[in-house]
Amino acid sequence: MEEQTQTDYSRFLAEVKGIPSEKTRFFVYWLNRFLGFIGTKDWDEVREADLNGFVARLVEEEHREAWQVQQASQSVVFFFDEFLGKPFFASKPEAAARSEPSRAPQTWDEVLRRLREILRVRHYAYRTEQTYGGWIRRFAAFCGETRPGELEPAAAKRYLTHLAIDGKVSASTQNQAFNALLFLYRDILGRELGDLRNTLRAKYRRKIPVVLTKPEVKRLLNHVPERHRLAVRLIYASGIRVSECVRLRVQDLDFERQCLIVRSGKGEKDRVTLLPGKLHEPLRAHLQAVKALHEQDLAVGYGEVHLPYALGGKYPNAGREWRWQYVFPSENLSVDPRTGVVRRHHVLQRTLQGAVKQAVSAADLQKRASVHTLRHSFATHLLEAKYDIRRVQDLLGHKDLATTQIYTHVLEQSGLAVRSPIEDL
């Protein structure tokens, strides 16, 4: 941001918004962070989804306090909506409802219905819809007889404190609840949560991730059931998340360049990672079986998969094309919970998680390993092989190098960096 614009914005914050001069620099700091987040995007093209992605990064990756997230969000909104006069909330139909308190829902059932409508308009993941809905139901139970229209910010503060003291939840769980409540107040009830600095926050503890040795990985993979082994092998081979694995589509596999493309990963970012040659033949054989299944579905009037965003409306027949099919489809057809359309979805995350859990037990591994442990092991084994940490960061899709550096601590803890004195006795 240009120095003059920064100076004018600081004056606007102090004189128009009444923010103490000693605090305006923090608002400017968050705005600069957001502008760095959107990169070269033209300011006229900034939308609410950009702010949502920025907030998610602060909460999920940087573990910022709730009051800092609120301050950052306010700074961005003040700058675009009021300072520049470019309200990126204005074009959203649900924003109009947010700006009119008289239209705020009066029952919790109406709140949940409004939640579904807004999240689907903004193309949020179905899992996010379920998570937010779950937190709002728990918050409603905590509030007792209080109706949504009677809620005050203090109720949210009490609930977050309750989670920390009575629920003893982790910092990430409390932040997830905060995200849901922030959405409830700001986007459904049309209110701001205000200053949350006095809210008791769950303490964040950075844990050293569980990592398997290469022989342990081999033992684990050998005990994964055959029908899920290829997917689990791919997670270790490419370092992808289980959610990214199940969402892979045929067109995301590039055998010629030996890479796969992760679409809309964490933070809605695309990235390229490894597709080792050792898996090419097993994957090609697997895809032949998947294609035969797809042709069977087409023959009986099915064969259409869900398309992301609005592509289904733009290209009505694309969902039946081979290139859009999931690499790891479900064994059964199912009803789409949003549209009621019968489709073949991808294999569920919990299916792979359960398969790995059983394999850990069968392999007699004395570590608390999970399917995500294979991603940790992928990163650690690359660093052990002396690959550049920034290259590993790109493969994992980490926005911040500090997130990748946790694996260097794993190397240190493993004894590779320090020799015990008992070795010299």
Distance in angstroms (rounded) separating the CA atoms of residues 164 and 171: 8
Which residues make Cβ contacts (< 8 Å) with residue 209, sequence separation at least 6? 373, 376, 406, 407, 410
Q: Looking at the predicted structure, is the pLDDT value of residue 416 above 70?
A: no
Alpha carbons 161 and 154: distance in angstroms, whole number: 11
How much of the chain exceeds pLDDT 70, in percent? 85
The pLDDT score that the predictor gives to residue 60 is 63
Instruction: Indicate whether 32 pLDDT > 60.
Output: yes
Sign of CA dihedral 261, 350, 180, 393: negative
Q: Is 398 designated active site?
A: yes
Q: Are 50 and 35 in contact (CB under 8 A)?
A: no
What mean pLDDT is predicted for residues 280-301? 96
How high is the mean pLDDT of the chain?
Answer: 84
Q: Which of 54-63, 314-323, 412-421 has the highest mean pLDDT?
A: 314-323
Residue-wise pLDDT tens digits, 224-251:
999 999 999 999 999 999 999 999 999 9
If one compares 150 and 370, the residue with the highest pLDDT of the two is 370
Q: Can you say whether residue 380 is alpha, beta or left, with left for phi > 0 and alpha for psi between -120 and 50 degrees?
A: alpha
Kindly list the structural domains of the chain, giving each domain's residue range(s) and its CATH number in brackets, ordered by start.
3-189 (1.10.150.130), 214-363 (1.10.443.10)
Query: Is the pLDDT at 403 greater than 90, yes or no?
Result: no
Q: How far apart are CA 346 and CA 156, in angstroms?
A: 36
In the predicted structure, residue 102 carries a pLDDT above the cut 60:
no
Q: Which pLDDT does position 221 carry in this prediction?
A: 96
pLDDT tier at 89 (50, 70, 90 boundaries)?
Answer: low
pLDDT of 219: 96
Confidence band of 116 (pLDDT split at 50, 70, 90): confident
pLDDT at 99: 38
Query: Of the listed 98, 201, 249, 375, which one is catalytic?
Result: 375
Q: Is 280 a catalytic residue?
A: no
Query: Which of 169 and 290 is assigned the larger pLDDT?
Result: 290
Active site residue 266: yes
**Which candidate in 122, 320, 372, 399 is catalytic?**
372
Q: What is the pLDDT, as a whole number, of residue 308?
A: 78
Q: Which residues of 137-147 are buried (b: 16+ CB within 10 A; e: fewer)?
A: eebbeebeeee
Looking at 241, 271, 343, 346, which residue is catalytic?
Answer: 241
Higher-scoring residue by pLDDT: 58, 397: 397
Q: Give the pLDDT score at 412.
A: 61
pLDDT tens for 256-283 read: 999 999 987 776 688 999 999 999 999 9
Give residue 421's pLDDT. 57
The answer to whether 236 is a known catalytic residue is no
- Indicate if the pLDDT at residue 192 is higher than 90: no
Q: Looking at 266, 294, 376, 381, which residue is catalytic? A: 266
pLDDT value at residue 240: 95
pLDDT at 315 over 50: yes
| C-alpha angle 395-396-399 in degrees, rounded to nearest 5 | 105
What pLDDT shows up at residue 417? 52
* Helix residue spans in 90-193 (DSSP H): 93-98, 108-121, 126-143, 153-165, 171-183
Contact indicator for 268, 53 with CB cutoff of 8 Å = yes
* Residue 103: predicted pLDDT: 61
Residue 320 has pLDDT above 90, yes or no: yes
